[in-house]
Every structure is written in structure tokens, then in C-alpha cells.
Homo-oligomer: A and B are copies of this chain.
């Protein structure tokens, strides 16, 4: 027969909600280092925004010396910066908290990475200058809607400290993996903040405002705040990505044959780089070093790791992975539970049966 279809399947995004659209990457089935845009996780608070001619310009106002509205072409002509960055939703793995936490029930796929290209925000701010009162930079997206909980109609806004905003790797991106950013991922301009959870990387940038005080929008002071158990700690904002790892193969509760299996996954951190990934096949009694495969010069990316597991004995096994970063951070055995379910990074654990 001509044109015989493939003998295997292709993975798809995993739907959590459709309006707003929230779908996760089929992370266990993606071998790529640069995730194609159609497999990039989609996380929205609102319906997709309606864009117009103004969406192609980017005004910078507020506590600046020369307010200025950059055009798409102007941005495109400034010095380009290309960065491969992992973006992880702060709620990734939320479904694993025990007690369970309400909200989007992300499993392990609210994470993707690829190559973003754009211009450093610091370059733009060097054109506008900053007034002496400048304290934070606020980024507003074109997406607007009713906020769950309060019912208020708001746009999506987030701020950065001046220091973070001026970091040369905080960029206004206009391309992903060498192409115009797809509409669903923030076309035409998306802020990219490496090392932070992805709520900071505001999509569909509408304007940038420098302010002289602390920004207190609902996505800064209500959502994206860790509320630990009462009596433990005060609430504190979600910022840097925790050290973390995910086992891509085998899948949880699957049956595999005895023999040799190359167990593999990814590991990532928002501080420094991954230095070790340790794997346990015996309920955590012993840990072995996995081989880290990725070029460590890719500062903001995940590492791929793998380890050969020779299993002769039939039975049920637990496989665990834990990553360590160059700042000495280690995945904890138990997650840091918090009311809104952010930053889950307990040791990854799966169960398999060997037949």
C-alpha cells in the first residue's frame, strides 16, 4: 500500500481548560531540546487578546527621562540577543501536592524550552533613561478578563525590580525558535525573564511603565504568592525556579520487561546550573549518579539525564530522581506545601512493575 501511515502515534498537548486555554506539554514524549511551538505549554488567565495596530508598538512611560514608543521595526533593528530558556509555570506539578490544592491541575508538563530572540530591556531603557525615583518596572499584557476570586476585570500585569529589569538577559522577545512568536505564546512581543517562573514572562506586551513604588496588582500580591501552612512562615512572592527534575521514562505505574532500561528525564534550576542528578531504585536507600547529557554552557536550560538500569528480578520498583544545583540546592524529599500550590519540587518518584 502507498502512503502507509506511521506505525506509531504522535503526542499531543494535554488539555486542562479551553477558555482560558490551559494545556500542558506531553513532556514524557518529547526528546527535543528546543520544544516546537505547537508542543509548548499554554497557560492563560484570560481568553486570548484581540490585537490591533497598536499591538505592534511598545510604549515605555512613567519614571523615565524620555518616554518613548518603540515600533516593531525599531525593536527589530536593535542589537539582538538570543537565549535558550526554560519556562516553567509556577503551578507545574500542582496535582502532586498532598493535601491536594485547588486550581489548574498541572501534572509534569507545564514546562517547555526553546530559543527566544529579541532585545535586552536594558537597551530600551538606555534610550529612555530612568528618573531617580524609578523603583520597579511594570509590564502589562493585552490580555484582559475577570479575575477568579475577586470578579474584578483586570489586565495581566507583573512587575520586576530595577535590578532584574536591567539584567542584560531580561529581553523583549519577538522570535521563538527562529520564527515570529506564535500568537498563542505572546506575539508580537513577549517579556522573557530567565530563571524565574513563567508568570514573569508577560505575553502580548502592551506597555512598560517605570514606577516609584512597589507594584501591587492582583497577579503580584494575590496570585503568585506562596502561602505556607499557618504558623510556618509569612507569605512570600513566587520568583526563582526551584531545583527540580522529572522522570520521562518509564511512565508511572507501567509494566516493563526485565532487562536493561535507559531511565531518562530532565533536570533544571533557576539558580546556577545543575551539577548532579541522583537516581534511586531501592526506595531511597542508595542513590547513583545519572549521566548529564547537555552542554552546561546553556545557562538557562534544562539538562537531559539518563542512567542504565539493569533489572533482572521481577517485581514492583520505585524509581526516584533528585537534582542538585551549583548553589547547593537539592530537591527535598517532601514538597513545601502552600495554599495556592506553587513551586512543587519534591524528589520525583514513579512506580513500575517488572515482568
- Judge whether A231 is part of the interface by a CB distance below 8 angstroms: no
Whether B5 contacts A183 by the Cβ 8 Å rule is yes
Q: Are A102 and B5 in contact (CB under 8 A)?
A: no
Residues 146-184 of A contacting B (Cβ, < 8 Å) = 148-149, 151, 183-184
A72 on interface, CB distance cutoff 8 Å = no
Number of copies of this chain in the oligomer? 2
* Cα distance A292–B287 in the bound complex, in angstroms: 55
Which residue on chain B has the smallest CB distance to residue A5?
A: B183
Asked if residues A15 and B9 are in contact (CB atoms below 8 Å), the reply is: yes
Q: Is the interface of A mostly helix, strand, loop or mixed?
A: loop
Contacts of A28 in B (CB 8 A): 15
Whether A23 contacts B42 by the Cβ 8 Å rule is no
- For A4, list chain B residues within 8 Å (CB): 50-51
Residue among A12, A15, A23, A352 having the largest count of chain B Cβ atoms under 10 Å: A15
- B-contact 0/1 string along A125-144, CB 8 Å cutoff: 00000000000000000000
Give the distance in Å from the alpha carbon of A16 to the alpha carbon of B14 in the complex.
Answer: 11
A28→B183 CA distance, assembly (Å): 26
Nearest residue in B to A20 (C-beta to C-beta)?
B8
- Residues on the B chain within 8 Å of A102, using CB: 253-255, 316, 351-353
Give every chain B residue within 8 A of A251 (Cβ-Cβ): 16-17, 105
The smallest beta-carbon distance between A8 and chain B, in angstroms, is: 4
Would A253 and B7 be within 8 Å (CB), given that A51-B1, A52-B1, A355-B148 are in contact? no
Shortest CB-to-CB span from A75 to chain B, Å, is 19
How many Å lie between the Cα of A236 and that of B324 in the bound state? 49
* A26 CB–B CB distance under 8 Å: yes
CB atoms of B103 and A253 under 8 A apart:
yes
Given contacts A16-B251, A100-B253, 12 further A-B contacts (CB under 8 A): A5-B184, A7-B47, A8-B48, A11-B15, A15-B26, A15-B29, A101-B253, A102-B255, A102-B353, A103-B255, A105-B252, A148-B257
Can you name 11 A-B residue pairings with CB atoms under 8 Å? A4-B51, A9-B15, A9-B22, A15-B26, A16-B251, A17-B251, A18-B29, A102-B255, A102-B353, A105-B253, A148-B355
